[in-house]
């Protein structure tokens, strides 16, 4: 499976990453190489094998539904590039 220009543009958009034409060329080449390598998985018949998401048994962890304040609003906003009062400020969402 080789990546072409259309595919790289599609996944760059899914990833919210902009690429120059030159970057597209480099990534097309590198991702194609990596995917060719990954295709070795197709040598294995995995029809009856269950997929594995976690290596140890995990169960849901519940706690009392009590209000906790791990960090203050001030702390939560401290690292934001732009704020207005108690809000995160972002550029226009709807044109």
Partner 1 sequence: MNKNIQIIREESLRLLGHTALQIKEKILSREIQATELVGKLFEWIKDIEPNVQAFITVNEKEALEKASEVDKKIANRQKVGLLAGIPIAVKDNICTKNLTTTCASKILQNFIPPYDAFVVKRLKEEDAIIIGKTNLDEFAMGSSTENSGYKITRNPWNHECVPGGSSGGSAAAVAADFSFLALGSDTGGSVRQPAALCGVVGTKPTYGRVSRYGLIAFGSSLDQIGTFTKDVKDAALLLQVIAGNDLRDSTSAQVPVPDYLHGIDSGVKGLRIGIPKEYFAGGLNTEVSKAVKDALKLYEKLGATVVDISLPHTEYAVAVYYIVANAEASSNLARYDGVKYGYRTGESRGIIDMYCRTRSEGFGNEVKRRIMLGNYALSSGYYDAYYLKASKVRNLIKNDFDFAFGRVDCIICPTSPVPAFKIGERANNPLEMYLSDIYTIPANLAGIPGISIPCGFSETGLPIGMQILAKHFEEKKILQIAYAFERETDFHLKKPPLKSSSV
Establish if 46 lies at the interface with partner 1 (CB under 8 A). Answer: yes
Contact with partner 1 (CB under 8 A) among 6, 21, 22, 60 = 60
Establish if 24 lies at the interface with partner 1 (CB under 8 A). Answer: no
Contact with partner 1 (CB under 8 A) among 2, 4, 38, 84 = 38
Establish if 28 lies at the interface with partner 1 (CB under 8 A). Answer: no
Residue 6: both structure tokens together: 């259309």
CA separation (Å) from 21 to 33, 48, 50? Answer: 19, 43, 41
Provide the binding-site residues for partner 1, judged by CB under 8 A: 3, 7-8, 10-12, 14-19, 27, 30-31, 33-35, 37-38, 40-42, 44, 46, 49-56, 58, 60-61, 63, 70-72, 75-76, 78-82, 88, 90-93, 95
């Amino acid at each position: 499976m080789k990546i072409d220009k259309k595919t790289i543009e599609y996944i760059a958009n899914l990833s919210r990453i902009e690429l120059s034409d030159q970057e597209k060329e480099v990534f097309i080449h590198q991702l194609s190489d990596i995917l060719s390598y990954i295709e070795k998985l197709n040598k294995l018949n995995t029809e009856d094998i269950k997929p594995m998401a976690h290596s140890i048994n995990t169960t849901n962890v519940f706690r009392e539904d009590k209000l906790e304040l791990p960090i203050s609003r001030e702390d939560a906003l401290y690292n934001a590039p732009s704020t207005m009062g108690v809000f995160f400020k972002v550029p226009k969402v709807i044109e």
